[in-house]
Structure 1
Amino acid sequence: MTDTKPDRLMLLDTASMYFRAFYGVPEIAGPDGTPVNAVRGLLDFISRLVADYRPTDLVCCWDNDWRPQWRVDLIPSYKAHRVVEEVAGSDPDVEEVPDPLEVQIPIILDVLQAFGISVVGADGYEADDVIGTLATDAGRPVDIVTGDRDLFQLVDDEAEVRVLYIARGVGNHERVTNDWVRNKYDVDAHQYADFATMRGDTSDGLPGVPGVGEKTAATLLKRFGDIPGILAAAHDPGSDLANGPRNKIKSAADYLAVAPQVTAVARTLDLGSPSTALPRSARNEDELARLAEQWGLESPVQRLRAVLHG
């Protein structure tokens, strides 16, 4: 399962990966008792993916803002179920993250920095938006590693952009192409964001159009192309859209006027000119060795070091 193309960009949905590492890797503590299972798991995930796909460039895309206010302004329920229950003096937009994971995130950043692996975020935007911007017009094959379906909208066979979908684990990931999306959802990848908007997505707090499930959403998109086309048909007395879906679409017009902006990932962020080249040796070997000893990470650090050197 090895690609040997000479120039390939790999984009990691980092939070998606370290959450899966945290819940999927047995609890392990460093020398001082600090949990490090998410750190170890993420490093081993990166080692495996780099060994399998041999990217020339790799970016750990970061959630500078996991729930951007501009998306909440459009859809107040957006990710609302993931917010920590508000208590006196707390920030109501703090993501609910288990304490044993939260303490590991700074360690993850320190280790990635010592390796010299690029970490890129954008204020006011999610990692999805960073991925969308870096993947669009990349001019080379792109592998997007994520466990979230939102990024299926970026799949583009012609541009050689695919998703490595890790919902069932990094070791059991699926290569998502346009045919994969069509076979599973009966829409093309570029229609997936509109499909999710209409169907709804409980994981993101998107209510969807009441009474419209996956089958109806796919049928409407096949007939009318996109949400503007569906809305136009619903408001056109001469269209052959049946009264049932017509009324459901018209009743959800306010939602459909704003939801596509929430579900569509940004593709034109100003990210500057970050270095994305995958390092072949650690940027700061002394610091990496210190971190490995401090947190008991010698084995996963050595595994990633060996893969990078290879």
Structure 2
Amino acid sequence: MAQLSPILLIDAPSLYFRAYFGVPESAAKTTHGQPVNAVRGFLDMLAQLVRTRRPGRMVCALDHDWRPAWRVELLPSYKAHRVAPEGGEVVPDTLSPQVPVILDVLAAIGICAVGATGYEADDVLGTLAVTESAPVEVVSGDRDLFQLVDDARPVRLLYVGRGVAKLEACDEAAVRVRYGVPANRYADFAALRGDPSDGLPGVPGVGEKTAARLIERYGGLDGILTALDEPGSGFAPGLRTKLDSARDYLAVAPKVVRVATDIPLPKLATALPTAPAEPERLLELAQRWNLAGSCRRLVDALAAND
């Protein structure tokens, strides 16, 4: 039986935020002066991914809830620093209006985009990573998604921390080289180390090397916490005190970091088109938003991917 072509699971918020900050507003505006830098950059990223990865399927995952209540209930500091004074996420004023344009263009081309009420894009990606036929390639600049890497399926993370042009295709060996832990222990590792970008304080005084060493020795947080209760388990007195003081935090933090893999999603049409689903609609959007070049590059990439 012929192997399926890869499915590209796109962390859409990760990519369009990167596009917004990577493409100057002054270089991408409509004739009426409206910025479309995030739209252009995002579409160009998709075009490059189609050209270089040659997927047969694609889904763009969306944040329907960027700070789910169930995660905040577990850890009130979760993304608290990113909450705007009037509520909602702090997002640049000129980025928010561009997101609906991105979704309109994706719909006109026929690329699947989906979110889930009460969940982040990460959770959509996690669920698709375990339910879609492999091979799976997850595209994101979010380190939390290293936990999805699984050689057995296989699932890889195409990490775009340095941009799509310099993406790193990460398997389990790459995760271990990078962090010193197995991919399936990344959530425990992140909880110990902390992550200021998500409001995870971590255990004071425990950095990446100590976190990796503890996981290597005890197998994960459960093993670490069990060993804390055993006399003579090898913890230096200072480290024992730090971990013991952080028990309440460590009981909930991994659940916050861990990506959901079982959320309800509708049946999706994941096949990547080779031509626009609604060519006249796409032409109208390209003209209205001054996106002719980016739309053409993506359509050409799709046609060449046939």
| TM-score calculated relative to the size of structure 1 | 0.94
Unaligned runs of 5+ in 2: none
Secondary structure in 2 matching 1:305: helix
Match of 1:99, SS state, is: coil
Question: Where does residue 168 of structure 1 map in the other structure?
Answer: 162
Pairing of 1:218-257 with structure 2 (within 5 A): 218-257=212-251
Residue of structure 1 aligned with 2:206, choices 205, 209, 212: 212
Q: Aligned residue for 1:303?
A: 297
Counterpart CA distance in 1 for 2:11 and 2:173 is 22
Matches for 1:21-40 after TM superposition, within 5 Å: 21-27=19-25, 28-40=28-40
Describe the SS at the equivalent of 1:136. Answer: helix
Matches of residues 170-185 of structure 1 in structure 2 within 5 Å?
170-185=164-179
Q: Deviations over 1:64-111 (max 9, x none)?
A: 000111111111111111111x2xxx3x2x111111111111111111
> Matched residue of 1:299: which SS?
helix
Q: Which structure 2 residues correspond to residues 188-199 of structure 1 after superposition, within 5 A?
A: 188-199=182-193
- Deviation of 1:139 (Å): 3.2
Alignment match of 1:151 (pick from 135, 145, 169): 145
The correspondence of residues 52-63 of structure 1 with structure 2, limited to 5 A, is 52-63=52-63
Q: Is the 8 A contact 1:152 1:181 kept in 2?
A: yes
- Distance in 2, matches of 1:211 and 1:136, equals 35
Q: Which amino acid aligns with 2:11?
A: D
Partner amino acid, structure 2, of 1:50: V
Cα 1:182–1:210 change in 2 (3 A) is: same
Aligned partners of 1:198 and 1:209 also within 8 Å: yes
Aligned residues of 1:234 and 1:247 also touching (Cα < 8 A): no
Deviation at 1:43, TM superposition (A): 0.4
Over aligned residue pairs, what C-alpha RMSD do you find? 1.3
Q: 8 Å contact 1:235–1:250 — kept in the other structure?
A: no
Q: Counterpart amino acid of 1:232?
A: T
Aligned-residue offset at 1:183? 1.0
Q: Is residue 142–residue 161 contact of structure 1 (8 Å, CA) maintained in 2?
A: yes
Structure 1 position 160, deviation (Å): 1.4
**Displacement of 1:178 after TM fit?**
1.2
Shift of 1:240: 3.0
How many Å separate the matches in 2 of 1:241 and 1:138?
42
Aligned partner of residue 164 in structure 1, secondary structure: strand
The amino acid that maps onto 2:121 is: A
Which SS does the other structure have where 1:233 is aligned? helix
Partner of 1:73: 73
- Alpha-carbon contact 2:5-2:56 (below 8 Å) kept: yes
Q: Which runs of 5+ in 1 are unaligned?
A: none
What's the CA shift string for 1:230-280, capped at 9, x where partnerless? 100011225233323222211111001111110000001110211111111
Q: Percent of pairs identical after alignment?
A: 54
Deviation at 1:282, TM superposition (A): 1.0
Amino acid at match of 1:133: T
| Matched letter for residue 13 of structure 1 | D
